[in-house]
A = this chain, B = another copy of it.
Amino acid sequence: MSNLPPSLVDKTVAVLGGTGPQGRGLARRFAAAGLPVVIGSRSAERAAATAEELAAATGGAVTGADNAGAATSGDIVVVAVPWDGHGELVAGLAGELAGKVVVDCVNPLGFDKQGAYALVVEEGSAAQQAQALLPDSTVVGAFHNVSAVKLEDPEVTSVDTDVLVLGDVREATDLVQDLCDTIPGVRGVYGGRLRNAHQVEALTANLISVNRRYKAHAGVRVTDI
């Protein structure tokens, strides 16, 4: 626990959509880093089952709840739900999420036989949609481009990628950069304001193309910093 930076001591991280691959992978890594984690899901039972698995796998403190319960418990709340239903979920939790840092890692993508492509989002990006629906929360975009396969693989001891962290409030982006840095190999890099979140979300479509072409689980590093 002593490895946690001061900003994260005594902080509980909730992961909404924590039973999906991305949420489960992030929850696993946060738990392994010594952070108390609450898995959120539409089904409290499925959340509890995933929590039990992750607690056993990591030795960390992982519990499960429905999404509203997890949102209430978390000091930092990660939103890792599918894009379809993102707005509805977030809007319904505005009260629970008030005053908190909400980390949106949702990628609005479509898929057809030519692969993945970015969807047009009325608010500009999933992160901006969340901020519009959560006027009393501070939304930060992060973890868009991290391979769930790598996060979930216990044999991957170092996840070789940077995470671009997007937001308009320095204290919140600094906190989320610290959260990124708890995952071995990962570096949180400030990547600009929330208005520039769209392209980072959409870049996941390019990484899916890279993965197909090169048979990889690609990530992104920022050079010269």
The answer to whether B218 and A115 touch across the interface, beta carbons within 8 angstroms, is no
Residues 25-37 of chain A: 1 if any B CB is under 8 Å from the residue's CB, otherwise 0? 0000000000000
Given known contacts A161-B223, A220-B221, A224-B219, A196 and B192 CB-to-CB distance under 8 angstroms:
no
A160 CB-CB contact with B under 8 Å: yes
Contact between chains at B199 and A202 (CB < 8 Å): yes
Question: Is A218 a contact partner of B210 (Cβ separation < 8 A)?
Answer: no
Given contacts A190-B214, A200-B206, A216-B225, 7 further A-B contacts (CB under 8 A): A115-B192, A117-B193, A118-B199, A150-B224, A198-B199, A199-B202, A220-B223
How many Å lie between the Cα of A203 and that of B223 in the bound state?
14
Taking each of A116, A200, A209, A214, which has the highest tally of chain B beta carbons within 10 Å of its own beta carbon?
A209
Per-residue B-contact encoding for A118-143, CB less than 8 Å = 1, 0 else: 10000000000000000000000000
Which residues of B are found within 8 Å of A176, using beta-carbon distances? none
B216 with A206: CB separation less than 8 A = no
Is the Cβ of A199 less than 8 Å from the Cβ of B199?
A: yes
Is A196's CB under 8 angstroms from B209's CB?
yes
Residue in chain B with minimal CB distance to A160? B223
A210 touches B196 (CB 8 A): no
Query: What B residues does A11 contact at CB under 8 A?
Result: none
| A225 neighbours in B (Cβ, 8 Å) | 210, 214, 216, 218
